[in-house]
A and B are shown apart, each in its own frame.
Chain A
Amino acid sequence: MSKLSNMELPSIFSSFAEARKNGFLAVKKLKEQGLGVVGTFCTYTPVEVFWAAGLVQVGLCSTSDETIPEAEKSLPRNLCPLIKASYGFAITDKCPYMYFSDLVVGETTCDGKKKMYELLGEIKDVHVMELPQSQSSPEAKAWWRGEVVKLKNKVATKFNKTITDADLTRAIKKRNQERLALKELYELSTLSPPPMTGLTQLQLLYGSQFKFNHQAKMADILGAIEKIKKVYAEGQRPVSEKAKRVVVTGCPMGGATEKLTRAIEESNGVVVAYENCTGAKQFDRLVPEEGDPWTNLADYYLAVGCAVMTPNPNRLELLGRLCRQFAADGVIEMTLTACQPYAIESRAIGQFLSQEKRPFMSLETDYSLGDFELLKTRVAAFIENLS
């Protein structure tokens, strides 16, 4: 292991990882308290709707290849591993969140996901929101607002709740607080050298989605920020001054795909920011708190810059901004095998970064660990040649 990984911060960081481990018991306990659980898959899902109804919301995107063979009995092999794994965990009852969720909410994002939801509908109560394929027209915005209201009605009927505008506004404020805190956390890596490795950052961001109590979650995040700042102020440097600063973009990261971060950080690089759904894409902006909360919520989510949109200018805007803010030496994109939207968009990303004068490499991988050395050779060669 590299110097980087040996010098990671201890104690409080591990509490997030444990939250993952204790997932089963935690969700069971919540259910025993009579709380409804909603499982979601995507950054386009307006989670504030569930919060406003007092429900527990949890991400269901699976990041391990454990159940892929099971999923491949019903799904084609050349499908994105995220979709296969998520479906696999559903049919094998191996994911506590999927298992305990009363309602699953998906969107018509990529073709693979929307067709998988049809199959998932055979075993779970699945509500699919119809996401427009482009973001700017008034028709698209109006349509999406309608879908958000439909979701509210679905939730209200299913869980026998009323959701008022005031409930929603409160939920928006809570979620905004979390966004601000998580943004403050990852923006610590604008420091040079960064006060945490990219692996630590990823695990903190990823782990935060498995904490369900707002107060406790806020305390954890703010505690982590304080701890990192304090240790840094005392002179500890978990990352070498010489490490090349990399911004990661592409498909969602976490779990098995931590291998990309490891490959970077074992090759004299450090991930300073994630543009992906695990990172800045989720926390960078805030939902406006004044005005009609339903319109605000719909407009906010529709503007998420994902490759399923055409065109997709918001991804470029965020990526360019992160590169400047974090003083990136280079950008590495991860696309998952068989993910057409991101694989095709790679070219546009490459052209954009070439104008921005940021070296760029795009790598395709899946949830297996077999290609770690292949990834590492490529990543190491890329980093060696950064000036």
Chain B
Amino acid sequence: MTLVLGLDVGSTYCKGAVVGPEGLVAVLKEPTGWDLTGVGNLVIDRLKSLTNLMVLPVAATGFGRGAVAQALIRPTEITCHARGADYLLPGIRTIIDLGGQDTKVMIVESGKVKSFQMNDKCAAGTGRFLELALNRLAIDLNSLPDNWLPSTVSLTSPCAVFAETEILGLLSKGAPRLEILKAVVESLANRAASLAGRLEPTAPAVLTGGLAETPGLTVALTRAFGVPVNNLKNGSYAGAIGAALLLGRFNQKTTSHEKTPAERGPENIIWRR
């Protein structure tokens, strides 16, 4: 059996996925911490013992991919997320990845990136922004009800630091914590949507990254993007799965597409700081 391991060394978690010709075999993740090489090895070792294999070829992605010495290939997280999400939900067209320190929106076709936008210059609109707000509010993201209605309050600053000050202001005025949480999530979703401004996202769209399976988020993203954004089972492993697929080259068997017309690569990617 030819199995391969994909490793996605993110800023918050190090995710690992083992994939074979028949599809996904195993996934697991560990908090990244400060030792990128160490956590990479830990995830590799744990996946080896899970699959009872001594040797697994490794592909690494994520911002810490350079620290994984044994990686045979190190594709970018953009390519990997596209490939992985297309495996998890064949035919996917729009991917929103809320990462710990960056946010990406990708337009894909047959698992290939056609266009993308990425924010990694500041914390606004990233998982870090959400984390700070949740800590300040001492509230869990899952306390958002299904199909929640828009918040009665709003945050004006997308900046993570200023938003925290704003949250304090709202709290002192007696705004309910749940309403503030909604406002935080809306701010995050709007920020991601404005990032995607030029991209013209279309359905089907999914959320990947650590919060991929949180229903409360997709409600806000759907409103902000104007297309239904779905949760994605195992979506936090999209990058790791994509890395493994790129190494294993099982894609013809595991993804929906055989061949597409005009599959000639990305077009019209414009990045402004």
Contact = CB atoms under 8 A, between A and B. Distances in A.
Interface of A: 329-330, 337, 343, 346-347, 350-351, 353-354, 357, 359-365, 371, 374, 377-378, 380-382, 384-387
B173 interface: no
A125 to B, nearest CB: 36
B1 interface: no
Interface of B: 75-79, 82, 112-113, 116, 118, 120-121, 262-273
Closest 5 CB pairs of A and B: A381-B78, A361-B269, A359-B265, A350-B268, A386-B265
A286 B270 CA distance: 33
A386 B270 CA distance: 16
A384 B79 contact: yes
25 contacts: A343-B272, A346-B270, A350-B267, A350-B268, A351-B268, A354-B267, A354-B268, A359-B267, A360-B268, A360-B269, A361-B268, A361-B271, A377-B77, A377-B118, A378-B118, A378-B271, A381-B76, A381-B78, A381-B116, A382-B269, A384-B79, A385-B82, A385-B265, A386-B266, A387-B264
A134 to B, nearest CB: 25
Given A377-B78, A387-B264, A364 B273 contact: yes
B263 to A, nearest CB: 6
A331 to B, nearest CB: 10
A343 B272 CA distance: 9
Nearest to B73: A384
B146 to A, nearest CB: 35
Contact of A382 (B263, B266, B272, B273): B266
B113 A385 contact: yes
A362 B273 CA distance: 11
Nearest to A380: B76
Contacts of B264: 357, 359, 387
Contact of B267 (A360, A371, A381, A384): A360
Contacts of A353: 267
A371 B119 CA distance: 12
Given A381-B76, A381-B78, A362 B270 contact: yes
Contacts of A362: 269-271
Nearest to B79: A384
B271 A385 contact: no
The SS class assigned to the B binding surface is loop
B264 to A, nearest CB: 5
B273 to A, nearest CB: 5
Contact of A374 (B82, B121, B266): B121
Find the residue from A330, A364, A384, A386 having the highest chain B CB count within 10 A.
A384
B79 A381 contact: yes
Nearest to A332: B269
A387 B267 CA distance: 12
A384 B77 CA distance: 11
A272 B264 CA distance: 19
Given A382-B269, A384-B76, 11 more contacts: A347-B270, A351-B268, A354-B268, A361-B270, A362-B269, A362-B271, A377-B118, A380-B75, A385-B79, A385-B82, A387-B112
Contacts of A364: 271-273
Nearest to B264: A387
Nearest to A384: B79
Contact of B266 (A337, A351, A359): A359
Contacts of A371: 273
A220 to B, nearest CB: 37
Contacts of A346: 270
Contacts of B266: 330, 359-361, 382, 385-386
Contacts of A363: 271
A378 B117 CA distance: 9
Nearest to B75: A384
A385 B242 CA distance: 13
Nearest to B74: A380
A354 B114 CA distance: 12
A380 B118 CA distance: 13
Contacts of B268: 350-351, 354, 360-361
Between B112, B116, B271, the greatest number of chain A beta carbons within 10 A of the residue's beta carbon is seen for: B271
Given A357-B264, A360-B268, A381-B79, A337 B116 contact: no
A353 to B, nearest CB: 8
Contacts of B272: 343, 364
A52 to B, nearest CB: 43
A282 B95 CA distance: 42
Contacts of A361: 266, 268-271
Most buried by A among B112, B120, B268, B272: B268
Contacts of A387: 112, 263-265
Contacts of B120: 374, 377
A11 to B, nearest CB: 33
Contacts of A374: 120-121
B219 to A, nearest CB: 29
B273 A337 contact: yes
Contacts of B263: 387
A294 B121 CA distance: 50
A377 to B, nearest CB: 6
A385 B78 CA distance: 10
A359 B113 CA distance: 11
B11 to A, nearest CB: 13
A369 to B, nearest CB: 14
A304 B61 CA distance: 43
A93 B272 CA distance: 33
A74 to B, nearest CB: 24
Given A330-B265, A378-B118, A385 B112 contact: yes
